[in-house]
Chains A and B, each alone.
Chain A
Amino acid sequence: MTGFKDMTGVPEFLAHAITLEQEAAVRFDELAGMLEVHNNHKGVVDLFRKMAHFSRLHLAEAKERAEGVDVPKLAPWEFKWPGDESPESGTIEDAHYLMTAHHALTLALASETRGYDFYQGLADKAADAQVREMAQEFADEEADHVATLKEWLTRYPEPESTWNEDMDPPVSVD
């Protein structure tokens, strides 16, 4: 389910920006948490923590912009995301207990790219000029992140296809 949905104005746009960053932060922390429990590649956890940190910085920025603005309260299903979730929430099903830094970066890159697409879409197509302007600023920032992640990814090339091979059987726990 993808598709462009326009915003009614800056307040609604900010409601989306705030929620996007907040949910991204929580999701990256969640990914860090799940891999802390299951994954022994320290770099992966650190990366997700870093992503959560950046999301929180952006959240603060978005909240700053929202000062004095009457940001509407939307129920989760009322948001106009292009997909099923807010775009920068890392996709849970892409997590794997043996994932490497390469996979983590790929996952993060995908979410940042979705974030960029979301903002750029509004920058290009929103009816409201103020929304277009603000969305462009956010999109530019996301573009920076995308570029950074791409640069990092060159340092972590795709591992061999046996990366997810597990020599041990699963454990019976309950």
Chain B
Amino acid sequence: MNIQAPIKTELTFADYKSDLKPVWCPGCGDYSVLSAITKALATLQLPREDVALISGIGCSSRIPAYTSVYGFHTIHGRALPVATGVKTARPDLTVLVAGGDGDGFSIGGNHFLHACRRNVDLTYIVMDNSVYGMTKGQASPTTESDWTGSKLTPEGPGVAEFQPLEIALSAGANFIARGFSGKPNELVKLICEGINHPGFSLIHVLSPCITFRPEQREYKSMVHDGFGGFGFDDGTPDRREAFRRLMDDDGYSCGVLFKGNTPAFKSPTAAPASLADMERKFAL
């Protein structure tokens, strides 16, 4: 038997995919997001075993099993705390979080706020299709208030839309960007930047639901590069400026909005001590 020196072969994006076939409807935008995530991992050449992809519940939250990295498909709304646990317990890992608008902004809304302000080094990819797909098409927090497509809210939800980017900026997220599933290579760039940027990164992805929101096929003609007249890559480190750009956002601006300078969350450290040292405190 020939003994060969181990060759470090480069991983391609296909190496980051599992052989499991998605349950997503054919045509769903989430396929492209999956593709973008795997391409981002391949671009950064992250060892599969050192990456964890954490999700909640919903169509897009099925994503971890379709990759070949460590994954956790958790419960509805709780992807961010689970991911926070993974990253704070294992700072050596690259931790991505994925999910939908209902999972992240409705049931998980409080965790979203606190993940932004805690600023743990996570990259949160939200596939926003403004609908609950897995329960047959109800309005989500990002659904238009007059959308009458659901039997649950036949007159429309009647509630103003949740503004993920404004809220992330207010709450302290350190990197904020929007991408579109129909432009997966641009999305790859945003995900790579999000991973490389310290602290909490939000990548808001417009990902059409062709089953319950077929009109979202039009996203393709509505998206445009950059916020407030700036280019795709021209994120600002200035919060005031970022807010200003957001005020001019039509919801279809794609690119980097904000690149903050806040250091990522770090657990306190202390000089090592043994359990025996600690027990001495109780001794009389």
Direct A–B contact in the complex, CB atoms closer than 8 angstroms: yes
User: A68 at the A/B interface (Cβ < 8 Å)?
Assistant: no
- B-side contacts of A174, CB under 8 Å: 57-59, 134-135
Chain A stretch 60-108: residues in CB contact (< 8 A) with chain B: 75-77, 79, 81, 84-85, 92-97, 99
Given contacts A39-B26, A96-B26, A96-B27, contact A76 B185 (CB under 8 A): yes
- B-side contacts of A81, CB under 8 Å: 185
A38 partner, pick from B26, B192, B220, beta carbons under 8 A: B26
User: A30 at the A/B interface (Cβ < 8 Å)?
Assistant: yes
Total A-B residue pairs with C-beta atoms closer than 8 Å? Answer: 86
Q: Are A93 and B185 in contact (CB under 8 A)?
A: no
User: B23 at the A/B interface (Cβ < 8 Å)?
Assistant: yes
B29 partner, pick from A22, A37, A75, A93, beta carbons under 8 A: A93
Q: Are B31 and A76 in contact (CB under 8 A)?
A: no
Q: Contact residue range for chain A?
A: 20 to 34
Given contacts A93-B210, A169-B136, contact A75 B189 (CB under 8 A): yes
Chain B stretch 117-151: residues in CB contact (< 8 A) with chain A: 134-137
Interface residues as binary, B98-112 with A (CB distance below 8 Å gives 1, 0 otherwise): 000000000000000
User: B196 at the A/B interface (Cβ < 8 Å)?
Assistant: no
A93 to chain B, nearest CB (A): 5
Q: Are B208 and A37 in contact (CB under 8 A)?
A: no
Chain B stretch 140-188: residues in CB contact (< 8 A) with chain A: 182-186, 188
User: B25 at the A/B interface (Cβ < 8 Å)?
Assistant: yes
Given contacts A75-B189, A77-B188, A85-B184, contact A173 B21 (CB under 8 A): no
Interface residues as binary, A14-35 with B (CB distance below 8 Å gives 1, 0 otherwise): 0000000010001100110111
Q: Are B210 and A84 in contact (CB under 8 A)?
A: no
User: Which applies to chain B's interface (DSSP): helix, strand, loop or mixed?
Assistant: loop
Q: Are A84 and B184 in contact (CB under 8 A)?
A: yes
B30 to chain A, nearest CB (A): 9
B135 partner, pick from A33, A93, A172, beta carbons under 8 A: A172
User: A46 at the A/B interface (Cβ < 8 Å)?
Assistant: no
User: B43 at the A/B interface (Cβ < 8 Å)?
Assistant: yes
Among residues of B, the one whose C-beta sits closest to the C-beta of A97 is: B26
Bound-complex Cα distance A156 to B208 (A): 29
Q: Are B27 and A92 in contact (CB under 8 A)?
A: yes
User: B262 at the A/B interface (Cβ < 8 Å)?
Assistant: no
Q: Are A35 and B184 in contact (CB under 8 A)?
A: no
User: A167 at the A/B interface (Cβ < 8 Å)?
Assistant: no
User: B243 at the A/B interface (Cβ < 8 Å)?
Assistant: no
Q: Are A33 and B21 in contact (CB under 8 A)?
A: yes
User: B74 at the A/B interface (Cβ < 8 Å)?
Assistant: no
- B-side contacts of A79, CB under 8 Å: 185
Instruction: List chain B positions with a Cβ less than 8 A from chain A.
Output: 12-14, 17, 21-29, 31-32, 35, 39, 43, 57-59, 134-137, 182-186, 188-189, 192, 208, 210-212, 217, 220
